[in-house]
Every structure is written in structure tokens, then in C-alpha cells.
Amino acid sequence: MIRSTITSRSLNPLKYLGHNLGKPSFNQPIMKSVRWHGGPKVSSDAPTVPITFINPHPSERTNTSEEEIPKLTVEAKIGETLLQTAQRNHIDLEGACEGVCACSTCHLIIDDDLFDTLSEPSEDEEDMLDMAFGLTMTSRLGCQVKVSEEFRDTVIKVPEMTRNFYVDGHVPQGH
């Protein structure tokens, strides 16, 4: 855990500087995002916001130039996780642990401005992010980030590579 925390902070020193470095006071709540197990149940008629996923099917790409990278705009339900949004719309994003923050296969790269509005990742999420291929300063796990109004017209990138725990050709399905 110490190794992973240091790694995450070194990737994004401004974001993590001072984060949990001192001993927490009992009078001082620690602001951490909630860990979602399997994803929240969201009503089928929940309000939606448009989100564009870049590179939605990375496993099908072959030497595509930057301009040719595919994009897909979908309606994301407010309250669901980005992993749920992606899988509901058949975007090639795996969730090997089914959204319990125990893998890094739902790794996504968040738009800079949107990233700054999100709550801090939990220590569990930081640990799993350390295992993600192509980690960036604005990486998050799709199963740990819930869609809100702030996501309207934002862009989410699906990394070209993911740490895929499946070895049998399993195709990810929504939970």
C-alpha cells in the first residue's frame, strides 16, 4: 500500500500533495470517495447526459492514426458508474471484478477539467490504478466514478491497453 500510494502521488503531485500525509484527527473527516460494489441500481428512466467515449473498441483497432480513432457518444444515466455506462452501450471496457475495485480492467482516462471536479479516489482505487497499463494523471477506474450532471458533453478515453484478467475470450457484459 505504501508503494502504491507513493507511485500515485508521484504521478500527480498537485492532486495528492498532502493527501493523507498527516495523522487524521478524530474531529477531521477524511474526504474519500465511496467504494461501489457491483455498481448502483439506477432506474431505467433516470435523467441522462451525453458523454463521448474515445477509442471505444480498442481491441479491434489496427494501426489507426490519431484522426481516425473512433468516438462514440452515448447517453449516460446520472447515478450509474462509467463502467455501467460503457457496458450498457457495448463499449469494449472490461470489468473483471464486476465493479468491486479489485482489478484495473475498467481503467479510463478522464478529461482534465472533469477530473478536477471528481472526489478523491479511495486507497483501494489508488492501489488498483497502480496496476493499470498506461496510467495517466487523470486516470480513474470506471467502476468507481459515478455519472453526474458535471459529465454532460465530456470526453472519456478508453486506454488502448488494459490489464485483462480474462484469458478465454470472455466478452464483458453489463452487471
Q: How far apart are CA 31 and CA 118, in angstroms?
A: 12
Considering only residues 133-152, where is the footprint of ligand FES by CB under 6 A? 141, 143
Should residue 95 be labelled a site residue for ligand FES when binding is judged by CB under 6 A? yes
Query: Does 8 sit near ligand FES (CB under 6 A)?
Result: no
Listed ranges 11-19, 65-73, 89-97, 132-140: which one lies at the site for ligand FES (CB under 6 A): 89-97
Closest chain position to ligand FES (CB): 143
Asked if 103 interacts with ligand FES (CB under 6 A), we say yes
Part in contact with ligand FES (CB under 6 A); list of ranges 57-65, 72-80, 101-109, 110-118: 101-109
Verify binding: residue 51, ligand FES, rule CB under 6 A: no
> Are the C-beta atoms of residues 1 and 127 closer than 8 Å to each other?
yes
Identity (one letter) of the amino acid at 91? I
Q: Residue 55: is it exposed, middle or buried by C-beta count within 10 angstroms (0-12/13-18/19+)? A: buried
Torsional sign, CA 22, 102, 133, 150: negative
Task: Tell whether residue 49 is a contact of ligand FES (CB under 6 A).
Answer: no
Identify the bridge partners of residue 146 per DSSP, sorted by sequence position. 81
- Please tell me whether residue 105 binds ligand FES under the rule CB under 6 A: yes
* Position 102 contacts ligand FES (CB under 6 A): yes
How far are the Cα atoms of 11, 17, 93, 112, 129 from residue 142, in angstroms, in the given order? 19, 23, 9, 16, 11
96 binds ligand FES (CB under 6 A): yes
C-alpha cell at position 111: 478529461
Instruction: Report the interface residues with ligand FES, using CB under 6 A.
Output: 83, 95-97, 99, 101-103, 105-106, 128, 141, 143
